Amino acid sequence: MVLPLGDLQRTRILPIITYILIALNVTMFLVQQQQGEEFTRAFAMTPWEVTHNEDLAQPVPRVIPVLVRDPFGGVHRELREVALEHYPCPIPVRLTLLTSMFLHGSWIHLLGNMLYLWIVGDNVEEVLGSFRYLVVYLACGLMGSLAQIAVDPQSNVPTLGASGAIAGIMGAYVVWFPHNQIRVLVFRFITVLPASIAIGGWIALQIWMGAGSFHRGTDAGGVAYLAHVGGALTGIFVAFLFADEARYVKARNAAAEGWTTYDDPE
């Protein structure tokens, strides 16, 4: 297990948008706990609803494989029909592309996403500026959802989470700051790794798992890997668009700390 704990690269700004996004995600999760499952499913994004622009307000039958133990101790796989709960959405259903970015399925889901955002968000916000950073965050989340929809537009499984948006911020971070040192927990030991490994490795894993999900189903294992991939690739694209700004910020911060950099354009 490799768990990032923080990066060692300081910034010269107060990353107000990053803090606001973290606070908003936490607040929405508390609202979810108070309002219950009906609220969460109503505002989650369902590909079928988006592609058909139609709200699924009733349970939908779904056939899923389950493992069944027979009387002799053996285990075999059976297909069983279950009812997948859906509830009326009080807003235009395509707006769930936005609302779903601020919902999470569990405390672990929320804390993992917010940890990554806290680690990489301030550096990316410093390069882009607060307004562009917010736009890029939302765009990455949107592109992540659209990637998930594109490969399975008929899916009636709700999806939610900030993972696509945060994957985009991580994608920009690893392009701009591949040598930044990330403090990570590796099993029981704390060490440091370059961002190209600690963050780039996570992105590479999502691409590999996303490719595999074409065969297992896009929502295999309950993780929307293709949303991660779509968000990360969007963030990488943005990083190349703003490469000059990133070089300027790195050179400015290095000069303020008394260092010489060697990756600035001549």
pLDDT of residue 19 exceeding 90 = yes
Dist. CA 199–CA 182, nearest whole Å: 9
The class that CATH gives domain 2-53+91-256 is mainly alpha
pLDDT of residue 29 exceeding 60 = yes
pLDDT of residue 218 exceeding 70 = no
pLDDT at 266: 36
Average pLDDT in the chain:
86
User: What mean pLDDT is predicted for residues 139-161?
Assistant: 92
Query: 100, 145, 163, 213: which one is catalytic?
Result: 163
| Boundaries of every domain in the chain | 2-53+91-256
Q: What is the dihedral of CA 122, 123, 125, 129, to 10 degrees?
A: 130
pLDDT at 264: 45
Dist. CA 224–CA 189, nearest whole Å: 30
pLDDT of residue 213 exceeding 80 = no
Q: Examine the residue annotation and report whether 86 is marked as an active-site residue of this protein.
A: no
pLDDT of residue 45 exceeding 60 = yes
Q: Examine the residue annotation and report whether 130 is marked as an active-site residue of this protein.
A: no
**145-to-52, 95, 118, 140 alpha-carbon distances in Å:** 15, 12, 22, 9
Q: Are 32 and 39 in contact (CB under 8 A)?
A: yes
